[in-house]
Structure 1
Amino acid sequence: MFRPVPVTVRFRGVPLWLMAAVFLSLALLLSFLLLLSLQQDQRLLQDFSKDGSVPTKHFAALWQSRRDLVLVALLVFVAAAGAIGAVIAFLHYDSARRTLEAVKGLARNILESIPTGILTLNQSGIITAVNPAAEVVLTRSSGDLLGCAYESVFAPGDVIRHVLDTALRMQEHVRQQDLPYQGRDRESRTIRVTTAELTGDDGLSAGIILQAQDVTDWLALEQRLRVAEKLSALHTLSAGVAHELRNPLSAVDLNLHLLEDELARQAGLREDADHYIRILNAECRRMSAILDTFMKFAGPGSHGLHEVDVPSVIDYIMSLMRFEADERSIRLEHLVEDGLPPVLGDETQISQVLVNVMANSFHAMQSGGRCRVEARCRRGNGQEWVDITVSDTGSGIKNEDIAHLFEPFYTTKSEGSGLGLAIAYRIMHDHGGTIHVSSEYGQGTIVLLQFPAETGQLRSVTVTA
Structure 2
Amino acid sequence: MPALLMGEEGFRLLVESVEDLALFMLGPEGRIASWNVGAERITGYSAEEVRGVHVSRVYLEEDLAAGAPRRVLDEAEARGRARTEGWRVRKDGSRFYSLTHYTATRDADGRLLGFTGMTRDITARRETEARLCEALESLRRNETLSKMGALVAGVAHEVRNPLFGISATLEAFEAQHGGRRETAPYVSMLRREVSRLNALMHGLLTYGRPPSTELHPCTLSGVLQEAVEATSALARERGVHVEVRVEPRLPRVPMDPGRLAQVFQNLLANALQHSPGGTTVRLTARRLTDEGLPRVECLVMDEGPGFPPEDLRQVFEPFYTRRPGGVGLGLSIVQRIVEEHRGTVSVGNAPEGGGEVRVCLPAGG
* TM-score of the pair, normalised by structure 1: 0.56
Mapped partners of 1:97, 1:184: distance in 2 = 30
Q: Deviations over 1:54-78 (max 9, x none)?
A: xxxxxxxxxxxxxxxxxxxxxxxxx
Q: Say which one has the larger Rg.
A: 1
Aligned equivalent of 1:429: 339
What amino acid does structure 2 have at the position aligned with 1:308? C
The counterpart of 2:29, out of the listed 119, 124, 134, is: 124
The counterpart of 1:293, out of the listed 199, 203, 206, is: 203
Q: Deviations over 1:369-412 (max 9, x none)?
A: 55443323345567543232334555444554333332212234
Aligned equivalent of 2:65: 162
CA contact (8 A) 1:242 1:295 kept: yes
CA contact (8 A) 2:235 2:272 kept: yes
CA contact (8 A) 1:230 1:407 kept: no
Mapped partners of 1:177, 1:403: distance in 2 = 29
Deviation (angstroms), 1:170: 11
Deviation (angstroms), 1:246: 1.4
Matched, 1:234 2:148: yes
The counterpart of 2:269, out of the listed 352, 359, 370, is: 359
The counterpart of 1:276, out of the listed 173, 182, 186, is: 186
More helix by share: 1
The counterpart of 2:169, out of the listed 234, 255, 265, is: 255
Deviation (angstroms), 1:364: 5.1
Map 1:330-349; keep pairs closer than 5 Å.
332-349=242-259
Map 1:40-439; keep pairs closer than 5 Å.
89-106=1-18, 108-111=19-22, 123-124=28-29, 126=31, 142=45, 146=50, 147-149=52-54, 158-164=61-67, 167-168=70-71, 198-202=102-106, 206=114, 227-261=141-175, 264=177, 271-300=181-210, 306-318=216-228, 332-363=242-273, 365-366=275-276, 371-379=281-289, 384-392=294-302, 394-439=304-349
CA contact (8 A) 1:396 1:441 kept: no
Deviation (angstroms), 1:291: 0.6
Secondary structure in 1 matching 2:150: helix
CA contact (8 A) 1:432 1:451 kept: yes
Deviation (angstroms), 1:453: 2.6
Percent identity over the alignment is: 27
Secondary structure in 1 matching 2:251: coil
CA contact (8 A) 1:198 1:206 kept: no
Number of residue pairs matched by the alignment: 345
Report the CA distance shift for 1:255/1:207 in structure 2 as closer, same or farther (over 3 A). farther
CA contact (8 A) 2:220 2:253 kept: yes
Report the CA distance shift for 1:224/1:302 in structure 2 as closer, same or farther (over 3 A). closer
CA contact (8 A) 2:350 2:356 kept: no
Deviation (angstroms), 1:294: 0.4
Q: Deviations over 1:307-327 (max 9, x none)?
A: 432123334444655675577
CA contact (8 A) 1:134 1:212 kept: no
What amino acid does structure 2 have at the position aligned with 1:423? I
Secondary structure in 2 matching 1:109: coil
CA-atom RMSD in angstroms: 5.2
CA contact (8 A) 1:176 1:192 kept: no
Deviation (angstroms), 1:297: 0.7
Matched, 1:448 2:351: no
* TM-score of the pair, normalised by structure 2: 0.68
